[in-house]
Amino acid sequence: MDWPLLAALDTEERGRILRAARRRSYARGDVLVNEGDPSDSLHLVAAGRLAVRVSTPDGDHATINLLGPGDYFGELSLLDGRPRVRSATIIALEPAECLTLSAAEFRDLRARHRAADQLLLALMAGRIDELSARLLEATYDSLDQRVHRRLAELADLYGAADGPVVVPLTQEQLAELVGGTRPSVNLVLQALVSEGVVELGRGRITVIDRAWLPR
């Protein structure tokens, strides 16, 4: 796995950080971290797709993001020495593999190597970029635009080459990801079906024409 996150580090520094990490495998449905639990490790996703889920004010749960190879989570635990709790639950949607660094190991690396600080900055910059984009989208974009953008991201997350990409999500899950209701998201999807951009199946949305969706 090539880690875009570690690209700024030289080979020796990259090796040092990767050697300090432990590799763990997970089965589909495994909960990797639980919202509200003490937050004490950083995880780099090496394989598989994972869901980021949060509890909602009405006592339900919603999937707010999906992660795949090259993504990471748990960086908030590295920020300061203060006790923190997990801001979300992370669940494996399929067999997955992560490299895990405990907060204590990371503190140790930071004390000895500047590369760990560079990594932490890269982690934070990545998350701030992503959350800023989401905030802009939530404030200014229409539901149609949000559905199109999320479908484009999902096609990239699940697709290997050109051609149809099967995204194994229900319309309900897509509605959670875009922050819309299922009926309103269904209307947007039906319009995309008429355009020949997607096909709908049970528990799956197939992106036929990725080029139609935003880059």
Ligand X SMILES: Nc1ncnc2c1ncn2[C@@H]1O[C@@H]2COP(=O)(O)O[C@H]2[C@H]1O
Residues lying near ligand X in the complex (CB under 6 A) are found at: 33, 39, 52, 64-65, 73-77, 86-88, 90
Nearer to ligand X by Cβ, of 14 and 134: the residue is 134
Q: How far is the CB of 133 from ligand X (least distance, A)?
A: 11
For the bound state, the minimum distance from the C-beta of residue 69 to ligand X, rounded and expressed in Å, comes to 15
Q: Which three-class secondary structure state does DSSP give residue 73?
A: strand
* 96/110 Cα distance (integer angstroms): 28
If you compute the radius of gyration of the chain from its CA atoms, what whole number of angstroms results? 18
- Smaller CB separation from ligand X, 51 or 189: 51
Q: Which is nearer to ligand X, 93 or 197 (CB)?
A: 93
173-177 contacts, C-beta under 8 A, 24 or more apart: 173/63, 174/147, 174/150, 174/205, 176/62, 176/63, 176/64, 177/63, 177/64, 177/65, 177/66, 177/150
Q: How far is the CB of 189 from ligand X (least distance, A)?
A: 23
CB of 84 to ligand X, least distance (A): 7
When the beta carbons of 49 and 197 are compared against ligand X, the nearer one is: 49
| 148 phi/psi in degrees, rounded to 5 | -60, -45
Q: Based on CB atoms, which residue is closest to ligand X, 17 or 73?
A: 73
Shortest reach from residue 211's CB to ligand X, in Å: 26
Nearer to ligand X, 76 or 157 (CB): 76
Inter-residue long-range contacts of 119-126, CB under 8 Å, 24+ positions, other chains counted: 119/5, 119/6, 119/9, 119/17, 120/75, 120/78, 120/79, 122/5, 122/8, 123/5, 123/42, 123/72, 123/75, 123/78, 124/75, 124/79, 126/5, 126/72
Shortest Å distance, C-beta 126 to ligand X: 10
**Whose CA is closest to 92, among 35, 153, 155, 31?**
31
